Amino acid sequence: MSIATAHTHAVALPASRSGTLTGFWASVRFIVRRNWIRLIVWAVVLAAMIPVVYNSQQEAFPTQAARDAYAQVANTPAVAAMTGLPYAAGSLGGILVIKIWMTLAIALAFASIFLVTRNGRADEEAGRTEMLRSSALGRHAFSLANYAVVGGLSVVAGALISLLCLAEKLPTAGSLVMGASIAGAGLAFVGVSAICGQLSATSRGANTLGVAILAVFYFIRAAADLQAKGAQVSAISWFSPIGWAQNMRPFGQDTWWPLLALLALAIAGCAVALRIETHRDMGMGILPERRGSARASEFLTHPVGLVLRLQRAPLISWMLGAVVAGLFFGGVAQAMTTALEPSSAFAKAFAGDSSNMLDGILGIFVLFTALLAGAFAVQCVTGARTEEAEGRLESQLAGALSRSRWLWAHVLVAAVGSALMLLLGGYLTGVASNGAATGSQLAGAAFAYWPAVLLMLGVPLFLQGFLPRLSTSLAWAIYGISVVIAMFGGLFSLSESVISATPFGAVPRLMTENFTVLPLLVLSVIAVALAVLGFWRFSNRDITPA
Amino acid sequence: MSTNVAAIEVLGLRKQFGQTTALDGLDLVVEQGIVAGFLGPNGSGKSTTIRILLGLLRSGGGTARLLGGDPWRDAVDLHRRIAYVPGDVSLWPNLTGGQAIDILSRLRGGVDTAKRDALLARFDLDPTKKARSYSKGNRQKVALVAGLASDAELLILDEPTSGLDPLMEEVFTECIREVKAQGRSVLLSSHIFAEVEKLCDTVTIIRDGKTVEAGRLEELRHLHRTMVSVVLDRDASVLAAVTGVNDLVTDGNKATFTVGEAELGGVLAAIAAYSPHSLISSPPSLEDLFLRHYGGVGKFAETTVGQKAGAR
C-alpha cells in the first residue's frame, strides 16, 4: 500500500533536473506515515521533561537565597563531567540547564541515530529499499527524505522545548536558545548518522558506529568541562559538536552563532552521505563486514563461559553504570547536602528522617547502586528464558548438559556479577565522597543489599520453572514495583512497615539505621527457597519454546 | 555396545498438550545400524516424538527407550552417544557459525577438528561469518556439520535438509551413506520422499500421533499394488472385465490401473490377448504409500498416473 503511494506520486511529480530527487515528497509522506508514532513520542517525551524538571527544581530551590547557595557549590568535577559546566546556577533557568540540557541533547542525538538507521540502512538490509528503488524513485529521494524527516523531529522538539520554557515564564532569549541548542545537537547527529548508514552494511553496525561517535564527542566535551577555569570554556570544547551546542549557553550568554556550525555539520554530513550513495552498490557498505573467529575457545564452550559471552554487553554496561554512578554520587554528595533544605518535603522524602543529612543522602546513593545490580541480576536470569524461547536451549540440552547445570551457569554469572557491582559501586561512592565516608564503609553498606539482589534472582528463577512464558515480563514487573517503593515510597506516604516489607526496603541503610542481620537472613532464605523450587520445577517440566 | 538392544524403541507413546493430543499410542523401532525414515504430515507428532527421545519433553504414557536407556532419566549420559540436528536451527546471532559448531560439539564431548574442517569444505560453509548474516540453509549447515562431525552411535535428524539446495542435499546423502557404512544408526524425519527412498532401510509412517505403517521399504511395497500403464490395439475399456484390475482410468487405447501382487500373472496373461503396443509397470513409490494413508485412493490415482508414465 505504501509502496503504491510512493510509486504513483513518483510518476505524478515532474522529474527534477538530475532526476535523483524524483519522488522526494512521496518518500517524506511514506516515512512520516511509517514513523509518526515514534516521532511524536520522542518529541513529546523530551519536551515534557522541561515542566517536570522545572517544577521539581523550583521546589528544591524555592528561594533566591537557596539558589545562590547552590551556585556556590554547583561547580563540582562530577557535575561538570556529567552534565556540563554550570555557568548560571544562581537562576532557575541555569539550574534547568544543569539538570536536563545534557540529557535532552544526548537523547535527541540518540533519536536521530536510531531513526536515520531505521529508515535507511535497516530498510536497505531487509531488501525494502531495493523494491522502492525499482519504481520511479530518484536515487537520493528516499535517503534525503529520511534525513529531512528525522531532522524535522529535532526542529519540532526544539520548538516545543522553547515554547514550554516560555510557558514557565523563563526569559525569552534563553528559552529560544535552549530549544535551538538542543535541536542543533539533534541535527548535527542526523548528519553523522547519515554517513554511518552509508559506511556500514548492517543496521546494527550503523547504530554502533553512530553511538560510538556520540560517546567520543560526549567524552571530549566532558574532558573540556573538567579543564575549564571557573565558568570560562576550555578550547577542547570546540572539538565536539555537543560542545558547540553547549556553548550557546541558554540562560547565560545566549550565543547564537554556534548553531551555524551545527547546521553546517548537519548539511555537510548529509551531502557526503548522498555522495557515497552515488558511488556504492545497492546493499553494500564501505566498511567491510566484520568477521569473527572460526573456532570457539575452550572458555566459550564451557556453559559458564558461554553465558558470560552472551551477557557480556549487559555485564559491561551495568558495571560501567555502577562505576559512573558511584563516582558521580560520591562527588556530589557533599554539595547536595549543603544545597538541599533539610526541612523541605523533597529532602525528607529522599533522605528519610535521619538527623544526619549527609548519611541519608549516601544511603540513597548506595540503594541506587543496589538497584543497578538488581537490574543486572534480572536481565541475566531472564536471559536464560530467552535462550529457551528462541529455541537455542534444545540444541544445548541435546548435548551432554543437564538442565540444572545449564541454569546454574546463569545464576552464577548473575550472583557474582551483581556482588562485584555492589562492592565496586559502593567503594567508588565512598572514595569519591571527599571523606564523607570511606570506600570500604560504603562497599560494606552496598554489599548488605546482596540478599535483596539475590531475591531479584530467585524470583525469575522461580518463574522460569513455573511460568516460563510469562517469566520475563513478570520478573521485570516485580523488580519495577520493588524499585518504585524503595525509591519513592516515602514520597507516596507509604508507611515504613510497608516499605520494609519489600526487597530493597527491607535492607537496613547502614548509614542511617541500626544495623540488624535478621532482614538479610529472611531475604536470603526466601531467595534460596524460590531458586530451589524454580530449579526443581525446571528440571521436571517440558522445554517450551515461545 | 550391545548389539541386541534397539537404538530406538518406542511403544504406545502418548503425549498431551493441554486439550490437544499430540501422540496417541505411537510405535517406532529403529534397530542398530539401520537408517530409519520417519514420515508424517505437519503436526502429526514427529518432532514431539523426537523431543521426548531427547528428554526435552516428558512422555505422557507408553514406553520410550533410547540405546537401552531412559531418555528422560539418563538424558545426559545418553546424549554423549547421540547427535541431534533440528529442522529449524536457531543460533546465537552474535557468534560465528564456527563458534556455534564448536560449542555444540563440545557439549557432546569433543571436536574432531579434521572431520569438522572436512565437513565445512564439503558443505561449503564459511565459519567466520556471524550467525546473524546466515541464510536458513547456512544455519542448517551449521547444525549438520556439528552433528555429522561427531562419532555418535545414533543420529537423530529432524527434517535436516530443509533449506538446502539440491547440491548440498547430495552431499548430505553421501554423508548419511558413510554413517551407515560405519554401522551407526540414523533416525531421519523427512518430508522428501526421494530422500527417504534413497537412504532408508525402514520406514515408519505416522498420522495424528499414531503409527499407520511401518516396516522395511521392500516389504511395504509388496503389500501394495503395482501401477501399470498400457497401450492396447483396441479400446482399453475391455480391461474393466479383467479380474484383478483396480483404479482403471482409460483414454482411448491407453489405460492405467493398479494390480495386486497375487493377481499380476493373471492380468498380464489377459493383456497379452489384446496385443499391447507398450506396457510400463512401476512398483508403488513411498509417495504412493504415503498418499494412500493421507489423501485416499482417488487422489492417489490422479496424482500418480501422469507422473509414473513420464518417469519410467
Cβ within 8 Å, pair A392-B91: yes
Taking the alpha carbons of A64, A68, A70, A75 in that order, is the dihedral positive or negative?
A: positive
All cell numbers assigned to A461: 528463577
> CA B228 → CA B250, B256, B264, B274, B312, distances in Å?
12, 6, 10, 15, 11
pLDDT for residue B309:
36
Residues 157-186 in B contacting A (C-alpha not used; CB under 8 Å)? none
> CA B243 → CA A378, B232, B258, B265, B300, distances in Å?
75, 17, 11, 11, 21
User: Whole-angstrom Cα distance, residue B81 to residue B5?
Assistant: 14
* pLDDT surpassing 80 at residue B161: yes
* pLDDT surpassing 80 at residue A533: yes
CA atoms within 13 A on the CB side of A191: 17
- Identify any residues that bridge with B214 across adjacent strands, giving them in sequence order: B204
Q: Are B229 and B308 spatial neighbours (Cβ–Cβ below 8 Å)?
A: yes
Gap from A126 CA to chain B (nearest CA, Å): 11
Q: Are A512 and A352 spatial neighbours (Cβ–Cβ below 8 Å)?
A: yes
Q: Which residue type does A466 have?
A: F
- H or E element in which residue B249 lies: strand B245-251
Q: What is the mean pLDDT of residues B229-240?
A: 88
**Chain A residue with minimum CA distance to B96:** A292
The string of pLDDT tens digits covering residues B182-213 is 999 999 998 788 888 889 999 999 989 999 88
Same domain? A477 vs A348: yes
All cell numbers assigned to B69: 536407556
Chain A residues in contact with B129 (beta carbon < 8 A): 289, 291-292
pLDDT for residue A482:
92
Closest among B217, B174, B227, B177 to B193, alpha carbons compared: B217
Closest among A128, A137, A67, A532 to A339, alpha carbons compared: A67
Burial grade of A257 (CB within 10 A; 0-12, 13-18, 19 or more): exposed
All cell numbers assigned to A488: 519513592
Cβ within 8 Å, pair A300-B103: yes
Cβ within 8 Å, pair A398-B84: yes
- H or E element in which residue B30 lies: strand B20-30
For chain B, the average pLDDT equals 87
Chain A residues in contact with B106 (beta carbon < 8 A): 296, 301, 399
* pLDDT surpassing 70 at residue A254: yes
**Residue B173 backbone phi and psi in degrees, to 5:** -55, -45
Go through B45-71 and write b for each residue having 16 or more CB atoms within 10 A of its CB, e for each that does not: bbbbbbbbbbbbbebbebebbbbeeeb
Same domain? A431 vs A451: yes
Residue B289 contacts A where some CB pair is shorter than 8 Å: no
Q: How confident is the model at residue B42 (pLDDT cuts 50, 70, 90)?
A: confident
* pLDDT surpassing 60 at residue A13: no
Q: What is the mean pLDDT of residues A328-348?
A: 67
- Identify any residues that bridge with A403 across adjacent strands, giving them in sequence order: none
Above pLDDT 70, what percent of chain B?
92
Whether A240 is in a domain gets the answer yes
User: Per 3-state DSSP, what percentage of chain A is helix, strand, and coil (rounded to 5)?
Assistant: 75, 0, 25
Q: How confident is the model at residue A365 (pLDDT cuts 50, 70, 90)?
A: confident
* pLDDT surpassing 70 at residue A513: no
Same domain? A348 vs A445: yes
Closest among A194, A197, A188 to A217, alpha carbons compared: A188
Show the DSSP H helices in A61-125 as ranges: 64-73, 77-83, 92-96, 102-119, 121-125
pLDDT for residue B295:
60
Residues 362-391 in A contacting B (C-alpha not used; CB under 8 Å)? 390-391
Cβ within 8 Å, pair A296-B80: no
Q: What is the mean pLDDT of residues B279-305?
A: 62
Above pLDDT 70, what percent of chain A?
91
Cβ within 8 Å, pair B80-A400: yes
- Identify any residues that bridge with B167 across adjacent strands, giving them in sequence order: none
For chain A, the average pLDDT equals 87
pLDDT for residue A12:
44
Residue B89 contacts A where some CB pair is shorter than 8 Å: yes
Residue A288 contacts B where some CB pair is shorter than 8 Å: no
Q: Which residue type does A17 have?
A: R
Closest among A273, A250, A75 to A173, alpha carbons compared: A250
Beta strands B202-207 and B210-216, pairing class: antiparallel
The string of pLDDT tens digits covering residues A384-428 is 999 999 899 999 999 999 999 999 999 999 999 999 999 999 999
Q: How confident is the model at residue A127 (pLDDT cuts 50, 70, 90)?
A: confident
> CA A216 → CA A220, B99, B155, distances in Å?
6, 31, 52
pLDDT for residue A71:
83
Q: What is the mean pLDDT of residues A39-49?
A: 93
pLDDT for residue B211:
92
Residue B210 contacts A where some CB pair is shorter than 8 Å: no
**For residue B2, what is the DSSP state?**
-
Same domain? A306 vs A168: no
pLDDT for residue B312:
32
A287, A322, A339 - which closes a domain:
A287
Q: Are A539 and A404 spatial neighbours (Cβ–Cβ below 8 Å)?
A: yes
Mutate to test the interface with A, among B16, B54, B90 (most CBs of A within 10 A): B90
User: Whole-angstrom Cα distance, residue B123 to residue B117?
Assistant: 10
* pLDDT surpassing 50 at residue A62: yes
Of residues A300, A395, A400, nearest to B109 (C-beta): A400
Whether A367 is in a domain gets the answer yes
Residue A294 contacts B where some CB pair is shorter than 8 Å: yes
Gap from A291 CA to chain B (nearest CA, Å): 5
A263, A287, A311 - which closes a domain:
A287
pLDDT for residue B3:
55
Cβ within 8 Å, pair A291-B95: no
Cα-Cα end-to-end distance for chain B: 43
Torsion of CA A115, A119, A122, A127, to 10 degrees: 170
Cβ within 8 Å, pair A296-B54: no
Same domain? A283 vs A303: no
> Regarding predicted confidence, which is higher, B16 or A203?
B16
| Total-model pTM | 0.74
User: Whole-angstrom Cα distance, residue A369 to residue B62?
Assistant: 53
**Chain A residue with minimum CA distance to B52:** A542
The neighbour count for residue A159, using CB atoms within 10 Å, is 16
Whether A292 is in a domain gets the answer no
Residue B22 contacts A where some CB pair is shorter than 8 Å: no
The string of pLDDT tens digits covering residues A418-473 is 999 999 999 999 998 888 888 898 999 999 999 999 999 999 999 999 999 999 99
Same domain? A388 vs A459: yes
Whether A5 is in a domain gets the answer no
pLDDT for residue B305:
35
**Residue B80 backbone phi and psi in degrees, to 5:** -70, -20
Closest among A185, A166, A173 to A51, alpha carbons compared: A166
Same domain? A485 vs A535: yes
> CA A77 → CA A93, A331, A432, distances in Å?
21, 7, 11
Specify which of A90-104, A120-134, A252-266, B100-114 reaches the highest per-range mean pLDDT.
A252-266
Residue A312 contacts B where some CB pair is shorter than 8 Å: no
Q: Are A42 and A74 spatial neighbours (Cβ–Cβ below 8 Å)?
A: no
What's the domain range around A139?
Answer: 27-287
Closest among B187, B119, B189, B173 to B150, alpha carbons compared: B119
Chain A residues in contact with B102 (beta carbon < 8 A): 295-296, 300-301
Residue A395 contacts B where some CB pair is shorter than 8 Å: yes
Whether A10 is in a domain gets the answer no
* Overall number of domains in chain A: 2
Chain A residues in contact with B88 (beta carbon < 8 A): 391
Same domain? A98 vs A232: yes
pLDDT for residue A7:
44
Q: What is the mean pLDDT of residues A314-343?
A: 78
A287, A319, A346 - which closes a domain:
A287
> Regarding predicted confidence, which is higher, B6 or A74?
B6
Chain A residues in contact with B69 (beta carbon < 8 A): none
Crossing angle for the helix pair A102-119 and A24-60, nearest 10 degrees? 160
Q: Are A388 and A545 spatial neighbours (Cβ–Cβ below 8 Å)?
A: yes
> Regarding predicted confidence, which is higher, B237 or A402?
A402
Residue B11 contacts A where some CB pair is shorter than 8 Å: no
pLDDT for residue B204:
94
* pLDDT surpassing 50 at residue A525: yes
Gap from A544 CA to chain B (nearest CA, Å): 9
Same domain? A389 vs A537: yes
Of residues A202, A289, A296, nearest to B99 (C-beta): A296
Report how many Cβ contacts below 8 Å link chain A to chain B.
Answer: 105
Beta strands B8-17 and B63-66, pairing class: antiparallel
Chain B residues in contact with A542 (beta carbon < 8 A): 56-58
* pLDDT surpassing 60 at residue A98: yes
Cβ within 8 Å, pair B99-A292: yes
Q: Are A412 and A336 spatial neighbours (Cβ–Cβ below 8 Å)?
A: no
Q: How confident is the model at residue A11 (pLDDT cuts 50, 70, 90)?
A: very low
* pLDDT surpassing 70 at residue B15: yes
**Chain B residue with minimum CA distance to A312:** B94
**Chain B residue with minimum CA distance to A306:** B103
Residue A301 contacts B where some CB pair is shorter than 8 Å: yes
Go through A218-245 and write b for each residue having 16 or more CB atoms within 10 A of its CB, e for each that does not: bebbbbbbeebeeeebbebbbebbbbbb
**Chain B residue with minimum CA distance to A404:** B76
Residue B67 contacts A where some CB pair is shorter than 8 Å: no
Residue A467 contacts B where some CB pair is shorter than 8 Å: no
Q: How confident is the model at residue B302 (pLDDT cuts 50, 70, 90)?
A: very low
**For residue A125, what is the DSSP state?**
H
Chain A residues in contact with B123 (beta carbon < 8 A): none
Same domain? A59 vs A187: yes
Q: Are B1 and B67 spatial neighbours (Cβ–Cβ below 8 Å)?
A: yes
Residues A177, A178, A183: CA angle, nearest 5 degrees: 90
Cβ within 8 Å, pair B56-A291: no
Gap from B305 CA to chain A (nearest CA, Å): 42
Of residues A292, A395, A540, nearest to B104 (C-beta): A395
Cα-Cα end-to-end distance for chain A: 31
Whether A14 is in a domain gets the answer no
**For residue B191, what is the DSSP state?**
S
Same domain? A250 vs A387: no
* pLDDT surpassing 50 at residue B299: no
Chain A residues in contact with B91 (beta carbon < 8 A): 392
Same domain? A277 vs A307: no
**For residue A233, what is the DSSP state?**
P
SS3 B189: strand
